[in-house]
Amino acid sequence: MHPTRHAETTPDKPAIIVAETGEAVSYAALNRRSNQAAQWFRADGLQPGDRVAFFMENTPDYFALVWGAQRSGLLFVAISSKLTAPEVDYILADSGAQLLVASGALGAVAEALTAAVKRYSHGGAIAGFDAAETALDRQPATPIADESAGTAMLYSSGTTGRPKGIRRPPPLDPAIDAPTPLTMIASLFFGLGPQTVYLSTAPLYHAAPLAWTMTVQMLGGTIVLMHHFEPEAALAAIERYRCNAGQFVPTHFVRMLKLPDNVRSRYDVSSMQCAIHAAAPCPVPVKQAMIAWWGPVIDEYYAGTEGNGFTAIKAADWLARPGSVGRAIGEAKLHICDEDGNALPPRQEGLVFFEAERQFEYHNDPAKTAESRNRHGWSTLGDVGWVDDDGYLYLTDRKSFMIISGGVNIYPQEIENHLVTHPSVADVAVVGAPHDEMGEQVVAVIQPMAGIEPGAALADELTAFCRQSLSGVKTPRRIDFVEELPRHPTGKLYKRLIRDRYWGKESRIV
């Protein structure tokens, strides 16, 4: 249940294959490099419980670094490569990271960082950074003396507009090769194991791709790592490497389905046995079309970075219950509750809660942690849904108007907080509007200051203003203007009313 064990039994088996080039890294090589990483972290003074951050693009050494952190008891912080320098600086400071590894290709952002961390570049020089490869090469490839299981500490934006570090409970068993809840689910429910050839289509800094690829390597499978998702390239990789599993978001499905028929039919995808999707609701027609194309192998789960609960559903069961995200599996129990925390019966809509003995915390934010609990101590991600008589969950709303674009969670408050500082903006609301390919797009609804002329010129100015401080995924794709935003006299913004207009729904102020 760990790459080091597979390095002993199947040393020459590929742990990683780069989809675009065919470059392969064996389990023996991965084990050696991760041992060097652990030795390096100890030599630089990092002890169990300390934090190391990775600001990197997809590369085979990403796995060596995270496994080096895992086997040395560290908390590893995976930072989106799309963030700006101020956004990265905030995460570094808030997490307490002591060491940062950044990709050379991200040098323009990395050079602008001000956080007080030890700095290393990987895959290219960055001014003021030491070379990670040199630091690794000088270390022995033997295990450190005090191996213990570390874990990820990932950041997920909150309704306050600032990303929040998610602290999961430490492993009950400190052994680096102890099974995890996800390895049990992956093997028992989804059938993943040593035979798995798993197509990884997304950036490793995201919670799901990182967790699932590491899980497959714990089980002894092979990861086929894409640098970037392209629909035809994904089909080509499935055929070339005979991938039998992989993870996708609904946007990936949409893009593949929109390929011309002669392109789609060009590739043999019959090897695929388990195409796992999550991250965003999948429109029923899209999933039906994928099942018609690939067969009943499109499996789904619902969970959050917080790891407080997990539901899953196989394709065959989904066909009988279109729209469901499955039943709870694992230790956490699923509950639907009203606003007072009372459990509701089947087919009544309420907040989705999970009951578990061990719960996550939001780093440095006890108030937000408390907000996620009800009077029973059960935790919620803020999603709304209902269960049928057999316990299958159906989600009916999004948490706090979070926008999910291409599988990426985007929280409006941070964007609103930035836009409202522009001298031409009197008030602003940011909502998600439907988008055929991405699922949702970010829309900023602006109330200009008195005397300011709304129009294309102002929209361009505000877009440029956002790009100065916000990552590309957070920059509004559309800017609309209104005379006045709907607010209660207390100042409360009726955001549902605004959002519903874009979704063609009737809405009223209550």
Residue pair 395/386 in contact (Cβ under 8 Å)? The answer is no
pTM: 0.83
Within 8 A by CB and 6+ apart from 79, the residues are: 53, 54, 55, 88, 91, 92, 155, 205
Q: What is the pLDDT of residue 216?
A: 98
Residues in the chain: 510
Domain boundaries, the chain: 23-174, 403-502
Which of 99, 80, 81 shows the shortest CA–CA distance to 163?
80
- CB 222, CB 15: distance < 8 Å: yes
For the chain, list residues with pLDDT below 50.
158-160, 489-490, 506-510
88: nearest Cα among 106, 104, 68, 64: 106
In the prediction, which pLDDT does 161 show?
53
pLDDT score, position 510: 30
Residue 491: predicted pLDDT: 53
Whole-number pLDDT of residue 400: 65
Task: Return the closest-CA partner of residue 128 out of 136, 116, 137, 138.
Answer: 116
The answer to whether the CB of 97 falls within 8 A of the CB of 117 is yes
Distances 36 to 42, 98, 120, 224 between C-alpha atoms, Å: 10, 18, 15, 23
Provide the Cα torsion 197, 200, 205, 207; round to 10°.
-80
- pLDDT at position 278 is 87
156 near 363, Cβ under 8 Å?
no
Instruction: Determine the pLDDT at residue 45.
Output: 97
d(CA 54, CA 506): 45
Cα–Cα distance measured from residue 68 to residue 36, given in angstroms and rounded to the nearest whole number: 7
CATH architecture of 403-502: 2-Layer Sandwich (3.30)
The SS3 of residue 457 is: helix
Beta partners for residue 441, in sequence order? 433
Question: Looking at residue 455, what is its pLDDT?
Answer: 95
For the stretch 203-252, pLDDT in tens is 999 899 999 999 999 999 999 999 999 999 999 999 999 999 999 988 78
What is the predicted pLDDT for the residue at 492?
60
Q: How many CB atoms lie within 10 A of CB 494?
A: 17
CATH number corresponding to 23-174: 3.40.50.980
Q: Given this model, what pLDDT does residue 293 score?
A: 97
Quote the pLDDT of residue 157: 52
How many other CB atoms are found less than 10 A from the CB of residue 470?
22
Q: Would you say the CATH fold of 403-502 matches that of 23-174?
A: no
Dihedrals phi, psi of 122, to nearest 5 degrees: -130, 130
Q: Residue with structure tokens 């590739």? A: 267
